[in-house]
Structure 1
């Protein structure tokens, strides 16, 4: 499940998921990574966009712009039959299938596994979760609109995974500077 909503205010309101890095929109890069590990269905939560690969399920939170918890609730409903789900941001241009495999291996018996950066900060939109645990957290959350993803996930048992390679897959692109760094990294 790829969360692809938001206002992209720091990028001048552009459709951030469709901004190209290395000639490929960031959202398409994330879709390609999850497809490479055999994810099915691939669910994008956000507006329907031209240029997405075929076979993607696009759903929208109600009301549109309801935030990441509302988006996660709609996404979980779309993958209800799956045991595991990746919860990913759409602006992760360095995400790879190998990174997703690392998270899956790191899941163990926990509710979820997510990357932590060099300072120990959890990368909440770059992880894998057991669908039943995520669904339970959403049901207990209350009204999801405008809710905090940190609050949604705070009571779940999580394995924190460190990325050992170069090009950290959890690096997102919120600013022009971030985009420049990502573009240099994929050259």
Structure 2
């Protein structure tokens, strides 16, 4: 029987494994925005959209994360966000019953769409398709719905060379994209995949929330 969107069952993974050097070294998961950490905001956005929800943290960060499984990168020689994606895929494969897909989101996106999982799943045209979100400013390559079947190919990609960029791996795979329009935040229209990389970004997000976002 051909795979259809209705067969999609998603687990979720919040990617919080970066070093956060431009934020002064504070792990992004712990950065506060309007009274909530970025991890708490990502949890609130993603939990209603998926089954099991986990977080990928750096190997040297230990902190309580109530309600979430913590997954670590599988091999110390793997670096970058794809190592976290692989860890999440392998974790999802141990769930019972296992999901068909893993939805990943970076921890530093405070305005994630509530319909992210549903809209990505709706365009799946085969069980092996990777579906990537796209905002007004371009692709958000880690806001992605990954089939669990991609794990062996991702592991081989990470082990096989020095180019471990997300875009390089996606270019070698069957993918689809879903475009998301700007969303209202306060009095502004904002890319739903606006990310917080610097203190200035954090200040901008705080100003937007202060202008009217709950």
TM category, shorter: 0.7 to 0.9
Match of 1:138 in 2: 154
Alignment of 1:20 with 2:39, yes or no, is: no
Aligned pairs for 1:14-93 (under 5 A) are: 14-37=26-49, 39-46=50-57, 47-50=61-64, 52=65, 54-61=66-73, 62-63=75-76, 66-80=79-93, 81-93=98-110
Q: CA deviation at 1:118?
A: 2.7
CA contact (8 A) 1:94 1:182 kept: no
TM-score (norm 1): 0.85
Find the counterpart in structure 2 of residue 170 from structure 1: 193
- Where does structure 1 lack aligned partners over 5 or more consecutive residues? none
Give the structure 2 partner of residue 184 of structure 1.
207
Q: Can you list the C-alpha shifts for 1:81-111, whole angstroms capped at 9, x where unaligned?
A: 2101112111111113223332222334361
**What CA distance in whole angstroms lies between the structure 2 residues aligned with 1:145 and 1:21?**
38
For the residues of structure 1 that align with 2:174 and 2:159, how far apart are their CA atoms?
22
Q: Distance between the aligned counterparts of 1:65 and 1:84, measured in 2?
A: 22
Do the aligned partners of 1:3 and 1:71 also contact (CA within 8 Å) in 2?
yes
Answer yes or no: is the 8 Å Cα contact 2:135–2:182 preserved in 1. Answer: no
Counterpart position of 1:161? 178
Shift of 1:68: 1.3
Count how many residue pairs are aligned between Structure 1 and Structure 2.
182
> What TM-score results when the alignment is normalised by the length of structure 2?
0.75
Residue pair 2:15, 2:55 contacting (<8 A) in 1 also: yes
Q: Tell me which of 95, 100, 103 is aligned to 2:117.
A: 100
1:40–1:48 CA distance, 2 compared to 1 (3 A): farther
Q: CA RMSD in A?
A: 2.3
Instruction: Give the Å deviation of 1:145.
Output: 9.3
Larger Rg: 2
